[in-house]
Amino acid sequence: MATTEVRGLGHSVKRKEDERFIRGKGTYIDDIALPGMLHMELLRSPFAHARVVSIDTSRAEALPGVVAVVTGELMAQHNLAWMPTLSGDTQAVLATDKVRFQGQEVTAVVAESAYVAKDALELIEVDYEPLPAVTNPQQALQQDAPVIRDDKEDQTSNHIYHWEAGDKEATDRAFDEADKVVALDTHYPRCHPAPLECCGCVADVNPATSKATIYMTSQAPHVHRTLFALVTGLPEQNIRIVSPDIGGGFGNKVPIYPGYVVATAASLLLGRPVKWIEDRTGNLISTGFARDYHMHGELAVKDGRIVGLRASLAADEGAFYADAQPSKLRIGLFHIVTGSYDIPTAHVQGDGAYTNKAPGGVAYRCSFRVTEASYLIERLVDVAANELGVDPAEFRVQNFIKPDQFPYESATGFVYDSGDYEKALRLALEKLGYEDLRKEQAEAREQGKLIGIGLASFTEVVGAGHGKEYDIVGLRMFDSAELRVHPTGKAILKLGVKAQGQGHETTFAQIVAEELGIPYEDVEVQEGDTDNTPYGLGTYASRSTPVAGAATAVIARKLRDKARTIAAHLLEAAEDDLEWERGRFSVKGAPDRAKTIQDVAFAAYTDLPEGLEAGLEGVHYYDPPNMTFPFGSYAVVVEVDRGTGQWKVRRVVAVDDCGVRINPMIVEGQIMGGLTEGFGIAAMELITFDEEGNCIGSNFIDYLLPTSWETPPFELGETVTPSPHHPIGAKGVGESATVGSPAAYVNAVVDALAHAGVRNLEMPVTSDKVWQALQEAGLAE
């Protein structure tokens, strides 16, 4: 048997999935063409809030090439005009009574080509009666605000929920005893995951077979299958969701969007496949946005130590409460807001409000609102350091949770698995040359040049999660791995998660290589087809490695146990007398008496001990005992132009600790992607609205994404603090940089102006805002 070096954990092997992508042979949803396929386009509301008086589709229906025009009324006849959201609310599929945000889906045209469908959209006449629009939570929660969700019987205001965590009394006492209180009001603005591929589906309800195959951009195909069954009434065994290649997800492809439901209904009614691919405007104006939290934070400080934290927030939820997050958590994992700091008491509260905007909120690599929390604490800590006259790095170190405090129970009930925060920060400072930079900054200031240094030391929480606490619409958040080894020693691994660029086809094969000794090249990884894979909750919130990765390790180890039994049989030795060296069992003391895993695989089908079941396979559904807590320290250096307010990033140093790294190259790729998204969010990304609720930021001319020119280069470092409860010690890392970096960028720009009394800048930190601050501080050119 040829020996291939078995590369498991820690190897930066090249990705297997690249083979098709570099050839342009990926299969994204829009690449799929089925015989007889029709094309669907959506007509969207121009108004943020309006009564729908009438819809005349007659001219559209008469256009040659148009097969059907679907209205809310038609959907209502099939009980499909409304659908449940992932947060227990309802959302309009197609408008019936009112439209509640600009861009809301009103009608759909199904035609022989998308060009004709678009022609037909222009022929539909909708009579609207505009209503006053509500464009922020403060306005929404006022006494006289128009009630947006008057479709809901018991909804008499725009208030959705109130949620609390922590200990109010103890925290109030801590604040009473503090010698200083530092406060900050800040808005984490509405932004959007904007993956390069928009959302879409090809719905193929086949009348001959009764099988509904829905190819869709889905980060959670099994959940979507179950939801489709519940919403449409189609029997779940006849529904197959196929999510092939996805061109970026970042949380955008977790919710169920009206387009998917209408396309499926259309396919069912017409007996032909229906393709719906939204355009970029549809994506930005109607699909799950991210953030939009109005936050207030306070730190109680005594003798230089943080002794209490208060945080309150108003969440702008849009017209339907459709956050994609665990059902018991109204504001996600925001209560991680004590961050990396040993804060004895904290109180967190949040209120959600309806507004005339698209629904969403939990998206864009947020780890269920950890981005918002991390931003608040890292900005607060910097503000506090500044007010106390303490170096921001030292202030952090003084308040960090210490290594000997782990597992650490936080004031809001998290049990942090492991961490060494000071080590990561010191490494970042060393790589940066922090001391020298502070000197350079002071000298530059003398010459009228503004340099800023910004730090962020984040702890985030991923790997949802233990079934009792974490569920999506009741479905517990376990995940799964089904591993089958073939007679020729190759294997197939099927997962309940679904990558959108994270490299699972390679990294999960590496886990099998590590545990079972089968070369990763010989392990085929499959995800995304619900007919073919075990039930899972999908890929988002950095959960794949913590949960499905654990399931993979567990099942691989179970197969290794069975392999030992077979090997013992082949070697005519006792199981206890065998030694395992990745991929090979040998007899203790007689190393030449050995069988490879490939030998064992063959034997599993040909030569088994009496009574042992054939095959070498199994499935494991892993219920994580706890979350995992990746962390890191980032440092950003900027230069500010005093004449224009523009800032340029000179350096980014990022030290991450995600425990054991399966594939360092892939981990670094995730981090660099996140650092770029963090930069975009800090500098330029914004969806905003005028008073009438018109959306500004619904195309890439207005919604600005950093190009290779603006994006700085990154210097990466690592520390490794394994997770004690994870089978391979890994923690998940996909979102760390998006969580941790925005505060670092903002802290840097504020730091450049702090000597002149500037305390805060709101994101996106655009040049006009910086100029305004320069002007007020007497620093403008």
Partner 1 sequence: MTETVVQEGVTTRAMTVNLNGETRAAEVEPRLLLVHFLRQTLGLTGTHLGCDTTSCGACTVLLDGVPVKSCTLFAVQADGREVTTVEGLQKGAELHPIQEAFREEHGLQCGFCTPGMMLTATALLKENPDPTDEEIRWALSGNICRCTGYQNIVNAVHHAAAKLSGKGR
Partner 2 sequence: MYPASFEYFAPTTLDEALEILERQEGEAKVLAGGQSLIPLMKLRFATPRALVDINAVTGLDTLEEEDGGLRIGALVRHKTCERSELLSGRFGALGAAAPLISDPIVRNLGTVCGSLAHADPQGDWGSVMLAVGADVEVRGPGGARTIPIEEFFQGPFTTALEPTEVITEVRVRDPGPDSAGTYLKLERKVGDFATVGAAVHLSFANGTIGHAGIALTGVGPANLKATSAEEALAGRELDEDAIRNAAQLAAEAAEPRYDIRGSAEYKRSVVRVFVERGLRAAAEGRSHD
Active site residues: 219, 365-366, 735
Alpha-carbon gap, residue 241 to 214, rounded angstroms: 5
* By the rule CB under 8 A, 122 interacts with partner 2: yes
* By the rule CB under 8 A, 528 interacts with partner 1: no
| Per-residue mark of binding to partner 1, 689-728 (x: CB under 8 A) | ----------xxx---x-xxx-x-xx--------------
Alpha-carbon gap, residue 756 to 521, rounded angstroms: 58
* By the rule CB under 8 A, 391 interacts with partner 2: no
Report which residue type is found at 321: Y
Binder among 1, 2, 5, 24 for partner 1 (CB under 8 A):
24
Least spacing, CB of residue 217 vs partner 2, in Å: 17
Between 20 and 180, name the residue whose CB sits nearer to partner 1: 20
Beta-sheet pairing, 200-206 with 408-409: unpaired
The closest of 366, 401, 370, 396 to 383, measured between CA atoms, is 396
Contact of 653 with 632, CB cutoff 8 Å: no
User: Per CB under 8 A, which region of 40-48, 142-150, 338-346, 663-671 contacts partner 1?
Assistant: 663-671
| Per-residue mark of binding to partner 1, 113-132 (x: CB under 8 A) | x-xx----------------
**What distances in angstroms separate CA 624 from CA 2, 415, 496, one per listed residue?**
38, 13, 14
* By the rule CB under 8 A, 346 interacts with partner 1: no
Give phi and psi for 735, each to the nearest 5.
-110, -5
Cβ neighbours around 97 below 10 Å, total:
12
**What distances in angstroms separate CA 651 from CA 281, 348, 370, 422, 769, one per listed residue?**
34, 34, 25, 21, 22
Cβ neighbours around 46 below 10 Å, total:
15
* By the rule CB under 8 A, 119 interacts with partner 2: yes
Binder among 467, 643, 724, 757 for partner 2 (CB under 8 A):
643
User: Per CB under 8 A, which region of 6-14, 118-126, 163-171, 441-449 contacts partner 2?
Assistant: 118-126
* By the rule CB under 8 A, 559 interacts with partner 2: no
Burial (CB count within 10 angstroms: exposed 0-12, middle 13-18, buried 19+), residue 694: middle
Binder among 501, 519, 632, 764 for partner 1 (CB under 8 A):
501
501 binds, among partner 1, partner 2, none (CB under 5 to 8 A by kind): partner 1
Scan for tokens 């069988």, then name that residue: 595
Binder among 158, 213, 502, 766 for partner 1 (CB under 8 A):
502
- In 131-236, which ranges are E strands? 159-166, 180-191, 200-206, 211-216
User: Per CB under 8 A, which region of 169-177, 202-210, 384-392, 698-706 contacts partner 2?
Assistant: 698-706
Rg (CA), the chain: 27
Alpha-carbon gap, residue 474 to 456, rounded angstroms: 35
* By the rule CB under 8 A, 665 interacts with partner 1: yes
The closest of 492, 508, 485, 480 to 566, measured between CA atoms, is 485
Least spacing, CB of residue 165 vs partner 2, in Å: 36
Burial (CB count within 10 angstroms: exposed 0-12, middle 13-18, buried 19+), residue 518: buried
Cβ neighbours around 429 below 10 Å, total:
20
User: Per CB under 8 A, which region of 101-109, 244-252, 262-270, 685-693 contacts partner 1?
Assistant: 244-252
* By the rule CB under 8 A, 768 interacts with partner 2: yes
Alpha-carbon gap, residue 455 to 441, rounded angstroms: 15
Contact of 67 with 270, CB cutoff 8 Å: yes
What one-character DSSP code corresponds to residue 81? S
Least spacing, CB of residue 733 vs partner 1, in Å: 13
* By the rule CB under 8 A, 285 interacts with partner 1: no
* By the rule CB under 8 A, 645 interacts with partner 2: yes
Least spacing, CB of residue 42 vs partner 1, in Å: 14
Helix axes 392-399 and 421-432, enclosed angle (nearest 10):
160
Least spacing, CB of residue 319 vs partner 2, in Å: 23
* By the rule CB under 8 A, 751 interacts with partner 1: no
Kindly list the residues in this chain that would bind partner 2 in the complex (CB under 8 A).
114-115, 118-119, 122, 279, 643-646, 684, 686, 688, 696, 701-702, 704-707, 709-710, 766-768, 771-772, 775, 780-781
Kindly list the residues in this chain that would bind partner 1 in the complex (CB under 8 A).
14-15, 17-26, 28, 30-31, 33, 64-65, 112-113, 115-116, 194-198, 245-248, 250, 279-281, 500-503, 665-666, 668-670, 672-677, 699-701, 705, 707-709, 711, 713-714
